[in-house]
Amino acid sequence: MSNQTLYTNATGFIPTLEPKDLDILAYIHSNKFITAKLYHRKFLSHQSYKTATLHLRDLESRGLLLKTRKFLNDDAYFFLSRPALHQLSGLARILTSSEVRSAHINPFEREHDKRVLEMRIQIEEAGGLEGIVWLSDYEMRCGLKMGWKRALAEGRGWDLAGAKLHRIHHRTPDGYFEVAMEGRVYAFVLEYEHTSYNREKMTAMVLNLTRDFPGAYRLVVSRDKKHALRMMEGLETYLKSDSRNRSLWGFSFFEKVTHTPFIQVPWANMDGEYLPFVKDPILKTALPTETQQEVAP
């Protein structure tokens, strides 16, 4: 398909996109949506917030983005229009199913999903990581594979001709990413506990992550420190006799993950020790083990 192809929507023609526009739209689609605050943080952090809102309005006025909000004072959620999806698909920047449609934003999950995106942006922009490739929950549920995502990220989308997305219906984590640190490739799964997990949900999480991501570190982030400690204690029953998998689990909480470079987040394992990739953690915010709690003054 020619790079000069024009697509139409109800308001008329959508102009040819610049490479930067393509990168931005592909990123937004990866997460289903973006808000003005997160757009500013990801793409225009060295410019004003007003500039970011003007950029979004421009993309919306050109028919590339749609927006929704639950209440008048809520954040607006911007997502790709159908013509924008066709444009990116035709240029081999994204993979789509046979029935191309705009993403559905669940009003009951949007706050959870927004926080996951906030963590992703922090990890990508302030993590000190090399070659990071991120596969979102949305992409996994659509059937996108890490090898395909890497090809798209490296501009090799045309190599995926004939690849078909098939939606999966089993549970997926909130993110899976691969990075290079000190000459070694690491794989990470991110799980965000926005509302407290019950036993059934904990069981499903352990089984699915162990089955689908056997070699990855499983990073569980709770909404605050109290719930992170509760999660560690709840998982003790499932992992106490499994030394190999036990060592792959790490825990932290939202405020720390969104305000600290990734390798300095005090990712604590089930024994209260830091995961091996952690460098210079902020010790006083670590998650204490039960023993440590007992002897604390």
Cβ-based neighbours of 83, under 8 Å, separated by 6 or more: 7, 8, 9, 14, 63, 64
pLDDT tens digits, 46-74: 999 999 999 999 999 999 999 998 777 88
pLDDT at 6: 40
For the entire predicted model, the pTM comes to 0.87
Domain assignment of residue 33, yes or no: yes
pLDDT at 99: 57
Instruction: State which H helix or E strand residue 134 sits in.
Output: strand 130-136
Domain assignment of residue 16, yes or no: yes
Domain assignment of residue 138, yes or no: no
CB-neighbour burial class of residue 251 (10 A; exposed 0-12, middle 13-18, buried 19+): buried
Which has the higher per-residue pLDDT, 252 or 5? 252
State how far the Cα of 157 lies from the Cα of 153, in Å rounded to an integer. 8
pLDDT tens digits, 90-129: 999 999 876 556 677 777 788 999 999 999 999 999 877 8
Neighbours of 194 (CB within 10 A): 18
pLDDT tens digits, 136-148: 999 999 999 999 9
CATH classification of the domain holding 24: 1.10.10.10
3-state SS assignment for residue 195: coil
Residue with tokens 């395909």: 148
Q: At what angle do helices 19-31 and 110-126 cross, to 10 degrees?
A: 130
Residue range of the domain that includes 57:
1-105
pLDDT tens digits, 235-268: 888 887 777 788 899 999 999 999 999 999 999 9
C-alpha distances out from residue 193 to 118, 145, 291, Å: 14, 24, 24
Domain assignment of residue 97, yes or no: yes
Residue 290 has pLDDT above 80, yes or no: no
Domain assignment of residue 136, yes or no: no
Is residue 56 located within the same domain as residue 159?
no
DSSP 78-105: EEE-HHHHHHHHHTTSS---SS--PPP-
Neighbours of 248 (CB within 10 A): 22
State how far the Cα of 102 lies from the Cα of 90, in Å rounded to an integer. 16
| Amino acid in the structure at residue 287 | L
Please state which of the ranges 21-30, 92-101, 174-183, 261-270 shows the lowest mean pLDDT.
92-101
Q: Which pair of tokens denotes residue 47?
A: 């410019």
User: Into how many domains does the chain fold?
Assistant: 2
Domain assignment of residue 235, yes or no: yes
Is residue 158 located within the same domain as residue 41?
no
Is residue 289 located within the same domain as residue 164?
yes
| Amino acid in the structure at residue 177 | F
